Chain A
Amino acid sequence: MIVIEQSLRRRLLLWLAAVTLVFGVALLIEAYVSARRAADRTFDGLLDSASLTIGEAIQWQDGKPLVAMPSAALQILATPSQERVFYALFGANGETVTANAALPISDAMRRAAHAGPVYADITHDSVRLRIEGREIDSAGWETREPVQIWVAHTRGGREALIRALMERAALRFIVMALLAAALVWLAVRTSLAPLERIRQLLRARTPDDLRPLAVSVPLELKELVIALDQLLERQRASHDRLMRFIADASHQLKTPLAGLQSTSELALRSTDAADWHQALVEVNHGARRSARLAQQLLSLARLDHRHDEAFVVLDLVTLARARLIDWIGRAASQAHDLGFDGPNQPVMVRAIAWQLEEFLNNALDNALRYTPPDSAITVGVVTTAQQVTLFVEDDGAGVDEALLPRLAMPFERAGRQDTTGSGLGLAIAASVATHHNAELAITRAGVGGLRVALHFKRERLL
């Protein structure tokens, strides 16, 4: 089932938006701090010029500082942004020499100005001001005393400069964010183009066209295309196998049916009741063979097409015993010696019961068919640390070692055409093994015959 998640484009754009927001806020804060610093640096220079110009104008007369307040100083202080300007001059003992406002200058600020120029933000008359104080050593004829010059102005020009710098920073950032969004959109578009090519290729395929895909893709999609090709390859293999199986099955069915046809035709030409009886026996035999073949084909199809059956925990010993008892009661096994070899306590595995039963049925059927009478046939369960084994073995003639690997293929009888077997028994066993993720081992038995075993891995048991 296909679950549609959010569109890739939208997800990428959302991520971009989140990152942009976080970085944007950080960038704007940084821009504000540096804009403020730049504005203060620029305008503090004007405060310097103004206070130095006033310092130039200080003269001493009769032991008192005399200042002809220079117009230029005030004009510098006002700056082109027409700030409101304030100044205050203090003598050595803190007395006011001249001032145009009672500025809130603390003692700490005055002490600091003693060491060097001081810059500060103050509030005067509910207006924020930038103030600078510096001490000037000046000498007159009678006195040699320092004078403190404090100059201040409103922050209009600074704020305007900060605003202008911030606006530029914000604009740059917005343009960048928009460009990034457009780039992401384009990138997603171009990177999804190969997927679109693959989609169109797959759509255009006819149902039986299972060749590998011929398409150029970026590195990141290589794995996907390889996986698709492998899937197609498996499909083709399984398709081929199925076609071969159908051909083989038809061929196998054809033989007994042809026998039936010729037998019945011969009987029809005869008028002897004995011949009829003989023909009926042969017809009965052939029909049974055909029925059995059809039965096995059916169970193979059942094994191949039911993938959703639930595994249950069952006792292997009980199951094997029950099968064995069932087979001992049948007419076909009267000439053989059937026995059980296994532990007395239960051996639990997760499995599908009817499949294991089918395995035992086919293995036993094979053993009965391909061994001479009086052969011993053993059904057994062996447990070791790593695995649990369910096996059927006989002490018959066995099979040539070289032919063993081919036994599990359908319609393979290891060169023996003398029996009435269908050649499907071990194919069914192989299918059961695959379903249980178990290993099918067809070997020579220690007692000389064939041993067909299912090895269950321990970790699958419960």
Chain B
Amino acid sequence: MKATLLGLWLMWLSAHACAATTLVINAALDRDVVAPLLDAFSHANPDIELIYHDGSTLEVERQLQAGTRQSADIVLSSAMPWQLAAVNANRAQALDIPEAAEWPAWAKWRDEVFGFTFEPIVIAYRLELAHAMRPPETHRDVLALLHAHRTLLRGRVTTYSPERSGVGYTLFQQDARYSPRFWDLVAALGAADVSLEATSRNMLEGLSAGRYWLGYNLLGSYALVWAREHPDIIVQVPSDYSLVLMRMAFVTRDAPHPEAARRFMAFLLGHAGQHVMAGQTPLFSVRPDVTGPYTAQRLRDQVGDHLYPIPIDASLLAFVDPLRRDAFMARWLRELKILDDGTTTQ
């Protein structure tokens, strides 16, 4: 007991020696991707000590609900429906800073939660695939390839697991909204013995290792950087429609350090933070007045106007409805196996 008290006192002392306040961030975002952003913030605000918890999207949500984690000031996550559900459940507070007011209306909800990145969803394939067949440019091409080259591609296709990844689940739900042929694609993926991964990084590592030839629905932010370092991987932004995922941030309602949280959000949504994002991370800045290699504006210029950001509004709440999720997962599993009988007899 005495030791604990002493320890607490020492911690308090050290905290006050170097930083006036702390800031707890719960994030579903690899630390090395956002490191430049966090470093820039710490550099600009030496009086704030950052405590950064990282986890997968569903893990963050689970811990948030269970309350097992130290109460956070800010929650960052790419699991858009769960972020919106948290805000809808009154777990966020409205942000009254100019950066929030100026933020584009399509990238925020109730001035409480903000989409601060702009990440296209892409197809990635190995060079070998391009040698063997005409590489896919659209969703239809992927379905056609899976039908035409089923034997060649068997076991060499990967995508997100909708069970283990909130991002994956969201993307598939959104795909299913856009075209009923999505379920044909799921059936074809199932027939090709698709490998379901929890993260884009795992998929990219599999592609580089040669285990996979074709990856569907990868986060463009990771894939584009990866492809630059690995020339045998080619990234294709689908030319029919390309979903755009936005990571969402909100300040918790009972944030222990509200002032620090406000300063972090001002940095994140302000010119400085978005500039770092556009230049030093592949997260793509949303702000139209920021320049750099990774901006939403530049991406639009490159791939045209078929970018479809997943809307940040109440419609996302439908994805987290347990009944709808169960129904979706049931159909997913059914469609994944629907062609099995045919393939085993082949």
Q: Write the residues of chain A forming the contact surface with B, with a CB cutoff of 8 angstroms.
A: 66-75, 77-78, 82, 84-86, 97-98, 100-101, 125, 127
Contacts and interface: CB of A to CB of B under 8 A. Distances in A.
B323 A98 contact: yes
B88 A82 contact: no
Contacts of A68: 323-324, 327-328
Contacts of B318: 69-71, 73-74
Nearest to A85: B314
B323 A75 contact: no
Given A70-B318, A98-B321, A125-B90, A75 B327 contact: no
Nearest to B324: A69
Given A72-B315, A74-B315, A77-B314, A84 B88 contact: yes
B109 interface: yes
Contacts of A73: 318
B323 A84 contact: no
A75 B315 contact: yes
A100 B110 contact: no
Interface in B298-324: 313-324
Contacts of B88: 84-86, 100
Interface in B57-84: none
B177 interface: yes
A78 B90 contact: no
B90 A75 contact: no
B85 interface: yes
A75 B314 contact: yes
Contacts of A98: 321-324
Given A66-B323, A67-B324, A70-B318, A75 B89 contact: no
Contacts of A97: 323
Given A98-B321, A100-B85, A71 B315 contact: yes
A127 B323 contact: no
Contacts of B321: 67, 69, 98, 100
Size category of the B interface is 20 to 34
B179 to A, nearest CB: 15
Contact of A127 (B90, B109, B315, B316): B90
Kindly list the 9 A-B residue pairs having the minimum CB-CB distance in the complex, ordered from nearest: A78-B314, A71-B315, A69-B321, A98-B323, A74-B314, A71-B318, A69-B318, A69-B324, A75-B315
Interface centre among B89, B177, B318 (most CB of A within 10 A): B318
8 contacts: A67-B324, A69-B317, A69-B324, A71-B319, A74-B318, A82-B314, A84-B87, A127-B90
B239 to A, nearest CB: 26
A98 B317 CA distance: 13
A82 B109 contact: yes
Question: For A67, A68, A70, A127, which residue has the most chain B Cβ atoms within 10 angstroms?
Answer: A68
B323 A85 contact: no
Nearest to A101: B89
Contacts of B322: 98
Given A74-B318, A84-B88, A125-B90, A67 B313 contact: no
Contacts of B320: 100
Which of A98, A101, A125 has the most B CB atoms < 10 Å from its CB? A98
Nearest to B327: A68
Contacts of A100: 85, 88-89, 317, 320-321
A225 B51 CA distance: 94
A138 B327 CA distance: 19
A84 B90 contact: yes
Nearest to B87: A84
A98 B325 CA distance: 11
Contacts of B89: 100-101, 125
A100 B177 CA distance: 21
A75 B85 contact: no
A74 B317 contact: yes
B313 A75 contact: yes
Contacts of A66: 323, 327
A168 B272 CA distance: 42
A78 B313 contact: yes
A69 B173 CA distance: 12
Contacts of B110: 82, 84
Contacts of A72: 315
Contacts of B323: 66-69, 97-98
A400 B335 CA distance: 145
A69 B110 CA distance: 22
Nearest to B85: A100
B332 to A, nearest CB: 13
Given A68-B324, A69-B317, A75-B314, 5 more contacts: A66-B323, A67-B321, A74-B318, A84-B87, A100-B88
Contacts of B177: 71
A188 B9 CA distance: 80
Contacts of A84: 87-88, 90, 110
A69 to B, nearest CB: 4
Contacts of A75: 313-315
With a 10 A CB-CB cut-off, give which of B89, B109, B314 has the most chain A CB atoms. Answer: B314
The listed residue with most B CB atoms (<10 A of its CB), out of A69, A70, A98, A125, is A69
Contacts of B313: 75, 78, 82
A343 to B, nearest CB: 104
A100 B90 CA distance: 12
Contacts of B328: 68
